[in-house]
Structure 1
Amino acid sequence: MAVDIRNKDQFARLWNANTATDLMAEIFDCHKSRIYHYAKKHDLRPRDPKGKVIEIPKAEFQKLWTSDLSLAEIAEQMRCAVHTVDRLSEYFGLGARPDRKQVVVDQGKIPNISGASFWTPERDRRVRAAAGRYQAVAELAAELGVATTKVLARWHRLRVAA
């Protein structure tokens, strides 16, 4: 008979002992994806790709979280996946990341790149001013009456040409 997975103490003991998820799934008679679900539900520390519980102090993680590093750079430094970094922020109750330094966009000469006649130099300036930030790109796309993906694609072309 399977052990009740709602037994947080036994589940936490196995999780914190770095027991393989396959073995835990066998013990609790469930699929291994449910093991990750219950680890999150019981608010247990995330694990790295090798299945080891990440033992990072809150202060050290908070310093990384508030730094100018991207989530991918934090994950690389901690040797874990990006979604694990997000889970750690939830675990420590850090909330959303503070605004990081914005990339200063050179509004000087806009390069002349090929494309539809729709993209005038003025529209290209506005695309560059959005700086690839999703909110700004979405607002500009709505204002111009085009898909967000088209504005984002144009921004990438302008960024590469600069």
Structure 2
Amino acid sequence: MVYSPIEDVGKLREMWGRGVSVEQIALHFGCSEPAVRHARKKLGLPQRPLVPSRIEAEIAVTRFDPGPILARVEKARSEGGIATPPFWTWDRDRAVIEAGGRWQKVALLAARWRMTSAQIIARWHVLRAA
């Protein structure tokens, strides 16, 4: 038998069903988050999907200030200093800058625009260097 730090599986099932976060469950049982995920899998509890709105809510609080980069890029774009594909808009540049190179936000933009994350990151590097 494999040791599990979570002995009260009934409580785990109840917390999981209520949507309590993995982090909070781990704190409740005094174990690691991977231990909670392992127990969830072992008990056959459904995996939680990564819902874009949930991800956006989790990463909404940010310390990154896009203001200075936005100002530089707007000036560089108006002067023709940044190569911009014909389909690329200022709104897209603004969204990429506001994402700040964070992978979760980049993944959301890539999905929304049907591009790869690498393409969005490449554009981010062009913009932040402006």
TM-score scaled by structure 1?
0.41
Point out which structure has higher relative CO (alpha carbons under 8 A, 6+ apart): 2
- What is the TM-score of this pair, normalised by structure 2? 0.48
